Amino acid sequence: MTSTADSARLRAELDSLTTEAFRSELADIDRLPTLDIAKIMNGEDVTVPAAVAEQLPRIAAAIDAVAARMAQGGRLIYAGAGTAGRLGVLDASECPPTFNTAPTQVLGLIAGGPAALVTSSEGAEDDAELAATDLDSLALDRLDTVVGVSASGRTPYAVGAVGYARSCGALTVGLACNTGSPLADAADHPIEVVVGPELVTGSTRLKAGTAQKLVLNMISTITMIRLGKTYGNLMVDVRASNEKLRARSRRIVSLATGATEAEIEAALTATDGEVKNAILTLLGGVDGPAAARLLREADGHLRTALHAARGTE
């Protein structure tokens, strides 16, 4: 049970946070026409990319460090509570279908476990030891990266996750939306995207949530680009598991090679539907087995494999 002293301390902390600030000019927003509220909210959202832009050097440095470890077999693990935790789980869940990553390569942990994705489990966010337990169950090691995500930058679960990960020798990133946060202080790579007070006081699923989604998109997407999961801006590691994805696979091969439909079908058939391999057979003039070998030797980087194939001509 929270004591009076603890309650006063927590209230003082909230009063000090930019994300929790009360905006008196919006005190009568509920009396405005819906269109006016929508215009105000849209205007607020426009400011988020600029706040993210201020942190791009820090974001880029973190991504390079993450990619270097993942190239050696490390994992990318997000940890957060509430909205921040859900955003981490969402970003992780989109990596396998987009980049053909293994389900265990990019992971999202949310305080309270999977049930907290749809049911409020806000009490779990106060448990720093729970984060250590969750990470310990993953057998964390020095090649892994843990990204703690918290709008306030003070959520015990996120701060605890970063602290435990650092003690294990893992790389750590702290993503917050306030300056001078404990989460940033605890991380190897602090990223503080200050978006200011929310339209609805304290509802950090709004601008803060948008900022976190943008940064997590950058971390996962650019890391995958660095790992050779794309060829230019084409998703060449996509796995065709349904009709839509099979059509997308053919289109990607077409865009990369300019080959005819018949040539594309033949290349995909020869490579068991693997888009990267099919592109390599068409652009590098090699057969399916040779394409597979060259890609293995190039650690999956199509440009490197293509250079090697052309060098053998």
pLDDT tops 80 at residue 10 = no
Say yes or no to pLDDT of 282 above 70. Answer: yes
Determine the topology of domain 243-311 in CATH: Helicase, Ruva Protein; domain 3 (1.10.8)
Residue 71 has pLDDT above 80, yes or no: yes
Per-residue pLDDT band for 313 (boundaries 50, 70, 90) equals very low
Cβ–Cβ under 8 Å, residues 224 and 230: yes
- Measured distance CA(182)–CA(202) in Å, rounded: 19
The domain limits of the chain are: 11-226, 243-311
For the chain, state the CA radius of gyration.
23
Q: Which long-range contacts (CB under 8 A, 24 or more apart) does 29-33 make?
A: 29/199
**How do residues 297-310 score in pLDDT, each as one tens digit?**
999 999 999 999 98
Q: Minimal CA–CA distance to 311: which of 290, 80, 37?
A: 290
pLDDT tens digits, 226-245: 999 999 999 999 877 778 88
Which residues partner with 231 through β-bridges? 234
The CATH H-level (homologous superfamily) assignment of domain 11-226 is Glucose-6-phosphate isomerase like protein; domain 1 (3.40.50.10490)
Report the percent of the chain where pLDDT is more than 90.
Answer: 75
Read off the pTM: 0.88
* Mean confidence (pLDDT) of the chain: 91
| CB 249 within 8 Å of CB 268 | yes
Q: Which residues are catalytic?
A: 94, 125
Quick check: 147 and 219 in contact, CB under 8 A? yes
